[in-house]
């Protein structure tokens, strides 16, 4: 038995916290990575119930899924594309495109003309992320794009912050570049749509990045690199204990022999591992000498509170050794438990395998 439980009450509270923090800015809810692990339809439904009606996706199949399941709201496709098949999907399903280059806009305009339709689009500006977007250093080229396409209504202009989880210095530089572009657009065009650059982290860490709208994803599941945000973690991965057994002092546990028991212990074996999204950090390169030394150091010198753990019958059970692909071992020496008891892990839903069932709980 494996399931990822999503606390609907905490999710709703996070949605309200995001809305309050956003002030009057429109919230564009990002649903990438299977709705940050919650499930695209699960998260979209909760957001809709919470009063948010503007979504954003990075993969077109997500947008099609939303349309096919009755979501008629604005859906922004965050990936600029010059692939004709992608553009046809955007036009057919009445999605809001991202234009990150003149060529992407030209091709989208041609597809619209061939189908006799118009679409909305947001223009992406590259202020330092380097992945896509019109260069902030070519404001005249940006301005010309507003009048270059006959079948596209540009309803938004945005940029992507590359370091909103870190020091503010680079975010400030990106903001300066974006505001400079914004000023040119306002001076030379009649554009009156949305400007947006703030991400989940920026919303809570750097509120001066909040403009007409904010793009929020990870904040909904309570995961941002900021201080006291009021957000709550909403995911709990649960499975049952397969076996409980005793191991003597000096016994190796797990692949690579990176852990050896320092005393006789009682262990619980559970069928979860790094393929499910558990303990990914400890799964990296455990066969290299430097990794073995690091793990040994951690086991000897770091306190138990720093070790990954599961919760069994209300008590913390420390992970022993490295996680396997599909199983792991927990120290239950001081915990009364049996095979069949439930073990719970507080997790980031985003990293949990999509094969594991998502269950919404009150």
Determine which of 58-62, 82-86, 112-116, 298-302 has the lowest per-residue pLDDT on average. 298-302
Band the pLDDT of 288: cuts 50, 70, 90: very low
Q: Give residue 225's pLDDT.
A: 80
- pLDDT digit string, tens, across residues 229-271: 999 999 999 999 999 999 999 999 988 888 899 999 999 999 9
Burial call 74-100: b when 16+ CB within 10 Å, e when fewer: bbbbbbbbeeeebbebbbebebbbbbb
Decide if pLDDT at 163 tops 70: yes
Burial class (CB in 10 A: 0-12, 13-18, 19+), 162: middle
pLDDT range class, residue 281, cuts 50, 70, 90: very low
**Percentage with pLDDT > 90 across the chain:** 80
What confidence tier does 290 reach under pLDDT thresholds 50, 70, 90?
low
For residue 201, pLDDT beyond 50: yes
Average pLDDT over residues 329-358: 94
For position 293, what pLDDT does the model report? 56
Residue partners of 227: CB distance under 8 A and separation at least 6 = none
Tens of pLDDT, residue by residue over 54-109, are 999 999 999 999 999 999 999 999 999 999 999 999 999 999 999 999 999 999 99
What is the pTM (predicted TM-score) of this model? 0.88
Instruction: Spell out the long-range contacts of 251-254 with Cβ–Cβ below 8 A and sequence spacing 24 or more.
Output: 252/321, 253/320, 253/321, 253/329, 254/320, 254/321, 254/322, 254/323, 254/324, 254/328, 254/329
Length of the chain: 362
């Amino acid at each position: 038995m494996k399931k990822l439980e999503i606390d609907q009450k905490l999710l709703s509270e996070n949605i309200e916290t995001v809305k309050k923090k956003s002030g009057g800015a429109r919230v564009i809810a990002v649903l990438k990575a299977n709705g940050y692990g919650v499930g695209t339809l699960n998260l979209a439904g909760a957001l809709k119930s919470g009063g948010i009606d503007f979504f954003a996706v990075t993969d077109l199949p997500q947008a099609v899924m939303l349309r096919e399941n009755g979501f008629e709201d604005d859906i922004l496709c965050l990936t600029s594309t010059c692939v004709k098949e992608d553009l046809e999907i955007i036009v057919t399903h009445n999605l809001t495109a991202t234009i990150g280059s003149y060529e992407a806009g030209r091709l989208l305009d041609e597809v619209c003309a061939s189908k006799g339709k118009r679409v909305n689009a947001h223009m992406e500006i590259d202020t330092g992320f380097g992945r896509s977007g019109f260069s902030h250093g070519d404001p005249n080229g940006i301005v010309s794009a507003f009048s270059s396409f006959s079948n596209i209504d540009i309803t938004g202009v945005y940029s992507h912050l590359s370091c909103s989880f870190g020091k503010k210095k680079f975010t400030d530089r990106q903001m300066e570049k974006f505001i400079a572009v914004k000023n040119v657009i306002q001076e030379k065009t009649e554009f009156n749509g949305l400007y947006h650059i703030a991400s989940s982290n920026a919303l809570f860490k750097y509120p001066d990045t909040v403009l007409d709208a904010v793009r929020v994803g990870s904040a909904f599941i309570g995961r941002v690199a900021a201080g006291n945000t009021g957000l709550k973690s909403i995911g709990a991965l649960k499975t049952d204990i397969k076996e409980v057994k005793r191991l003597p002092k000096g016994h190796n546990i797990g692949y690579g022999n990176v852990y050896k028991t320092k005393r006789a212990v009682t262990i619980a074996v559970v069928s979860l591992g790094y393929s499910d999204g558990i303990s990914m950090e400890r799964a990296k390169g455990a066969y290299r000498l430097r990794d073995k030394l690091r793990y040994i150091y951690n086991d000897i010198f770091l306190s138990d509170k720093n070790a990954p753990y599961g919760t069994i019958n209300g008590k913390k059970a420390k992970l022993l050794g490295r996680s396997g692909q599909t199983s792991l071992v927990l120290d239950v020496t001081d915990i009364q438990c049996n095979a069949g008891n439930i073990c719970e892990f507080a997790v980031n839903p985003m990293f949990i395998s999509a094969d594991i069932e998502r269950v919404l709980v009150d």
